[in-house]
Structure 1
Amino acid sequence: MANNEQPLRQAVQFLKLPCLPHEIVDQEMRRLQKMRIKGEIGDTVLFVTHPEIVTIGPRARKEGVEIPSSYASAPVDRGGSITWHGEGQIICYPIIEWKKAGEENVAVVIRKLEEWIISALESLGVNGRRDERMQGVWVGDNKVASIGLSFLHWTSRHGFTINYDTPLGRVEELSGCGLGQAITTSLSALGYEIGENDLHAALFSSISSIDRDASEMEHVADLASWMNNS
């Protein structure tokens, strides 16, 4: 391959998936992570939504955080506490090798992802920020984006969520990380009318915030088939 083609070969591939159960995507993420480590695929970002479920990280399990019985839940191996998933939320799972200069620890990667989200929101007219209370992205006094990662050979799995139009009360009822109820909410609850496609496009366009380039966004109905053909 010619040298002038190298940046395209290293660019991030975006895959837009349909709404899929968390357990299915979790299994396929593990396979993608191993494929990335072996060099069988390049850096890949998944956009997906899940039917309603609350994922519970190791810290929440250790602290005995209780999930209301009206929510389905599942344990996960990412950082962070509890995260709601469901309608009106985008999920971004970056299967990325973090070995560029300066990417020497998890805190740096978290800050890069926060900056990516903040840049995407800014392009949509939303002033996002960090908050010392908890990693993620906040708008005013409310948290709208959560981040939790898992690494193998410095390649990430899991990722982040952005709540844009979640059913009123479903996110707000949950209390994790000592934040209390009603701290985590959605952009629509804060008065912003932003859709799923808007956020996907904004994240795609602002990938340079994490020192990467984007190649293309592909709609994929069957991720397992896509992996088998890669």
Structure 2
Amino acid sequence: MINMRKVNILTFPREKHEKIDSLMRELQIRRINEEILDTLIFVEHPEIVTIGPKAKKENILPPKEFKSKFVDRGGGITWHGPGQLIVYPIFKWDLKDEVNTQLIIKKLEQWVISAFRDLNIIGDVDERMRGVWVGGNKIVSIGLSFLKWVSRHGLSINYDTPEGRVELLQGCGLDSGITSSLSARGYNITRIDLERSLLNSIYILGREID
């Protein structure tokens, strides 16, 4: 039987990106030092667009109407706001089959696809961009950074975002309108539904709830 790593769960209703970013940095160092278990954060942010190094280098910026912030995760620009569940795994990925960033991203994709399946949603990957897609629209974005194989940042899942906001952006370099939400695809899913399904499928990451 595979040994599962224990995971601690932290859940916040809605917090500013700056506050959670500071918390992630603290937890990352504590995880490196073996002071804490792997930790999974669930949260939503007030509206903000984060800009990764790729977008900054290519000068792909959001419209001025959006509050924005430069971050050090992989990827381009990503919208955050109400109706989007953010999932931050502060995990130590140093097991034999984990020390590879592409394999880690694939694991995270399969985790979400499994959780979606539990909600009768068919999710898949798409060669156009990493993440999870539903019916030709990108619903889940993934962007990570690592320090000594402990991850920071994570996944954003658009389940019921305000109409037209996430669609307005060229998310992660895709044409506007490609990134969308589950509600726009006709699914009536709550944040509680998503969290429950993700936790039910966490074994896919080789983890179990402490």
TM bucket by the smaller chain? over 0.9
1:70-219 alignment, distance < 5 Å:
70-215=65-210
For 2:17 and 2:27, the matched residues in 1 are separated by: 15
1:98 maps to a residue whose letter is: W
For 2:8 and 2:22, the matched residues in 1 are separated by: 19
Q: Is the 8 A contact 1:60 1:176 kept in 2?
A: no
CA shift for structure 1 position 103? 1.1
For 1:66 and 1:158, the matched residues in 2 are separated by: 20
For 2:128 and 2:120, the matched residues in 1 are separated by: 24
Identify the range of structure 1 (185-194 vs 98-107) with the bigger mean alpha-carbon deviation.
Answer: 98-107
CA shift for structure 1 position 214? 1.7
Aligned residue for 1:171, secondary structure, equals helix
Deviation string, structure 1 residues 94-114 (Cα, Å, up to 9, x no partner): 000001121121000000000
Deviation string, structure 1 residues 61-104 (Cα, Å, up to 9, x no partner): 00100211111000000001111000000000000000112112
Residue 12, structure 1, aligned to residue 7, structure 2:
yes
Structure 1 spans left out of the alignment, 5+ residues:
1-6, 216-230
For 1:212 and 1:62, the matched residues in 2 are separated by: 36
For 2:115 and 2:92, the matched residues in 1 are separated by: 21
CA shift for structure 1 position 178? 3.3
- Runs of 4+ in structure 1 deviating by more than 6 angstroms, as ranges, are none
Q: Which has the larger radius of gyration?
A: 1
2:15 maps to a residue whose letter is: L
Structure 2 spans left out of the alignment, 5+ residues:
none
Structure 1 partner of 2:49? 54
So what's the TM-score if we normalise by structure 2?
0.97
Q: Flag the 1:8–1:47 CA change in 2: closer, same or farther, 3 A.
A: farther
CA shift for structure 1 position 174? 0.0
CA shift for structure 1 position 10? 3.7
- Percent of paired sites with the same residue: 55
For 1:147 and 1:9, the matched residues in 2 are separated by: 23
Q: Is the 8 A contact 1:48 1:92 kept in 2?
A: yes
Q: Is the 8 A contact 2:49 2:69 kept in 1?
A: yes
Deviation string, structure 1 residues 15-72 (Cα, Å, up to 9, x no partner): 1112110011101100000000011100000000100000000000001002111110
For 1:119 and 1:183, the matched residues in 2 are separated by: 22
For 1:86 and 1:60, the matched residues in 2 are separated by: 19
